[in-house]
């Protein structure tokens, strides 16, 4: 029986997840097909009902706007995803009638490893742009790096519920602000994580350049297309380190491959290297 996995979201045509996963499965010699499926939040319950009737599924990667809605569609949520109330991974455990759908959040690991690979310091002062599901994972990632508080900047402070809930669940201090003061705060931060959609930070890039201050920290822009983004280019011009969202995507996918294949060596250096090759990312330095 051919096994199946997929990435779900809306829109989803731009996703690089199929390239990452298929490269890993080929290197591991595992026969798992992996596709991108466009699913809206409204259509998610019906889609998951159809998945429950098919015995060949091993896993689902979940992207926007489904990360919060998927929590209601799984049998159990484990790890930090339970605290955040946001998941990006569904692993199918067991076989036949005993299959259970387990939710995880591998975005946190993806962010942490991407930042550490770029040399981010421990105990950083952290700024997050955006307040949704990925921002919730960013809050948890900053805590894992040793931060004790975080400043979140959003267009509308009423729309930072997921970031606030994450901080509350993790026992982390959070301050939520409008985007008006974000650029000055960014320039002084040790780590900045932008969870804004592509091009949404373009205006802030011009403000950052006009500010004329050095950017000594690390910026992770989770929007990897187009790349470099204007905010990433402005940050680099100020002397800061830039981490493309592709790095986060890579590391969260590594964890998903481990869950979907059920192989303990699925996250080996050789597997990560072929995943890097598949999306044009530099191989890791051993």
Q: Any residues with CB less than 8 A from the CB of 49 and at least 6 apart, and which?
A: none
Active site residue 67: yes
- Look at the block and give the residue holding tokens 């191989």: 283
Q: Count CB neighbours of 130 within 10 A.
A: 27
Task: Give the span between the Cα atoms of 246 and 210, in whole angstroms.
Answer: 28
Mutual angle of helices 107-117 and 245-261, in 10-degree steps:
130
What is the pLDDT tens value at each position of the chain, 286 positions in all?
589 999 999 999 989 999 999 999 999 999 999 999 999 999 999 999 999 889 899 999 999 899 999 999 999 999 999 999 999 999 999 887 789 999 999 999 999 999 999 999 899 999 999 998 899 999 999 999 999 999 999 999 998 999 999 999 999 999 999 999 999 999 999 999 999 998 999 999 999 999 999 999 999 999 888 899 999 999 999 999 999 999 999 999 999 999 999 998 898 999 999 999 999 999 987 6
> Pick the catalytic residue: 16, 67, 68, 230?
67
Q: From residue 70, give the alpha-carbon distance in Å to each of 47, 88, 142, 237, 277.
A: 11, 8, 24, 39, 30
Residues 6+ apart with CB under 8 A from 9: 15, 36, 38, 39, 62, 63, 64, 65, 66
What's this model's pTM, rounded to 2 decimal places? 0.94
Return the axis-axis angle of helices 17-28 and 269-279, rounded to nearest 10°.
140
């Amino acid at each position: 029986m051919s096994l199946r996995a997929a990435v779900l979201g809306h829109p989803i045509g731009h996703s690089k997840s199929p390239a990452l996963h298929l490269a890993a499965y080929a290197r591991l010699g595992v026969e798992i097909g992996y596709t991108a499926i466009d699913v809206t939040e409204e259509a998610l319950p019906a889609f998951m009902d159809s998945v429950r009737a098919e015995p060949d599924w091993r896993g689902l990667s979940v992207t926007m706007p489904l990360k919060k809605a998927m929590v209601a569609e799984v049998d159990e949520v484990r790890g930090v995803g339970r605290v955040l109330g946001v998941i990006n991974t569904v692993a199918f455990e067991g076989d036949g009638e005993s299959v259970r759908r387990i939710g995880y959040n591998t975005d946190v690991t993806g962010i942490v490893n991407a930042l550490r690979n770029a040399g981010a310091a421990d105990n950083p002062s952290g700024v997050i742009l955006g307040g949704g599901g990925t921002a919730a994972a960013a809050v948890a990632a900053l805590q894992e790096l040793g931060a004790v508080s975080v400043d979140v900047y959003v267009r509308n402070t009423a729309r930072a519920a997921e970031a606030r809930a994450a901080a509350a669940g993790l026992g982390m201090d959070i301050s939520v602000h409008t985007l008006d003061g974000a650029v000055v705060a960014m320039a002084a931060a040790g780590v900045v994580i932008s969870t804004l959609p592509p091009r949404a930070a373009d205006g802030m890039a011009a403000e950052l350049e006009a500010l004329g201050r050095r950017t000594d920290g690390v910026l992770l822009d989770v929007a990897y297309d187009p790349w470099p983004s204007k905010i990433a280019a402005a940050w680099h011009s100020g002397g800061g380190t830039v981490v493309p969202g592709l790095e986060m995507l890579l590391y969260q996918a590594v964890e998903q491959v481990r869950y979907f294949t059920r192989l303990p060596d699925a996250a080996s250096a050789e597997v990560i290297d072929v995943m890097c090759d598949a999306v044009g990312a530099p191989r890791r330095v051993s």
